[in-house]
Amino acid sequence: MEIKRITDIPDVLKCLPFEREIRKKGRDNIRESQMLMFIQSYIDSPYFSFLMAYDDNGEIIGYAAAYISIIAGIGNKLHLSRLHAKREDVFEALTDTLRTWAKENKCKTVQITATNHIKAIQRKYKFVPVSVTLERRI
């Protein structure tokens, strides 16, 4: 298995079949175009990382998107936007790579925003709720 940091949008587009499946299962509702615009805006930033995991045949077996926020007085936090893996060992390898990158940037915590399956995420990945995000239309 090989994990690479991706810096070109054409490589990111190779993950769209997985993203379509994620949306089909109801696990995300953001439009693909919005996701791609976000990635394109930040892909060159040292505080954004898009990782892809490949098997020995060069097939994609997982990917992750994350960014680091730096807020004076609060500290650095890793925000996990996406982590998709076909196997548990791929999940662990991507997680380890992100953990190393986060530590290099002095992050102490990782955060995710979830709208579905919150209890399952808490149980399986050991995330705990620390705040509530409220929203309204403008």
Read off the pLDDT of residues 54-72 as tens digits, 9 standing for 90 and up. 999 999 999 999 999 987 6
Question: Alpha carbon 40 to chain centroid distance?
Answer: 14
Q: Which domains does the chain have, with CATH numbers?
A: 2-125 (3.40.630.30)
Q: Is pLDDT above 80 for 116?
A: no
**Which of these, 95, 91, 79, 90, lies nearest to 38 by C-alpha position?**
79
pLDDT tens for 37-51 read 999 999 999 999 999
Q: Which amino acid is at 3?
A: I
pLDDT classification of 26: cutoffs 50, 70, 90 = confident
